[in-house]
Amino acid sequence: MVDYKSSDTGFKPNDLAAGTSLQLPVYIEAARQMLRDTGLKPAGGYYMKIGASYGEDEDEALKEGRMRGISLKDASVLSRFSDMLPGGAFAAVDQRITSTGKLYSSTRLFDEQELDELLRYTQRLVREAAERIYSGNNSICPRSGACGYCDYKSVCRMNTLYAGNALRTPPRFDREQLNGSANGEAEE
């Protein structure tokens, strides 16, 4: 699954934990549902920057043009849809293989079970957000530090003096959250 972006966008697990980077996992889940009866499974989800020059140098263009996102932790799967560059880097995605043939460690690499748990974790975050919306909770509570670079701060009306408005400190992503019982409830 590829989502084309006009800006340089990547997947950051801490942004997922904060509830601000749900797009790729939601798209992967949608693809998984569409492929359910085919025997095929998504191998990841990626952002691809388009619309701007990556630079004059061909090597720089190859490096900057690689997709960024979530990948299965399986070099054989990644090598099916991306050529290898000298030095072990994949041409299409921002992953590399070591000289021993293993993928470099990355917070954006997940084995199949971890990916399943990541998608369940994302579903829980989406469900919680929907419940807040349906219950009428429309308080303004951006994550701490976001207001300094937000393009909408002039119209946001964020003010901690208003009831319900508060900065929130999001949790940090921890792979232990992907253990299926992180919230004490089983997913259906």
The pLDDT score that the predictor gives to residue 186 is: 37
* Tens of pLDDT, residue by residue, the chain (188 residues): 888 888 888 888 888 888 888 999 999 999 999 999 999 989 899 998 887 666 667 777 777 788 999 999 998 888 888 888 888 889 899 899 988 888 987 888 999 999 999 999 999 999 999 998 999 987 777 777 777 777 877 777 777 777 777 888 888 888 776 665 344 443 33
- What pTM does this model have? 0.79
**134/113 Cα distance (integer angstroms):** 31
Decide: 56 and 20 in contact? Cβ < 8 Å.
no
The pLDDT score that the predictor gives to residue 55 is: 63
**Pairing mode of beta strands 2-5, 109-110:** unpaired
Q: How many CB atoms lie within 10 A of CB 163?
A: 7
| Domain range annotation of the chain | 2-110
The pLDDT score that the predictor gives to residue 166 is: 81
pLDDT, tens digit (0-9, with 9 covering 90-100), for 95-138: 999 888 889 878 889 999 999 999 999 999 999 999 989 999 87
Cα distances (Å, whole numbers) of residue 135 to 54, 122, 124, 128, 130: 45, 20, 16, 11, 8
**77-81, long-range: CB < 8 A, 24+ apart:** 77/43, 78/43, 78/103, 80/43, 81/43
**161/27 Cα distance (integer angstroms):** 37
Closest to 24 measured CA to CA, from 43, 39, 51: 43
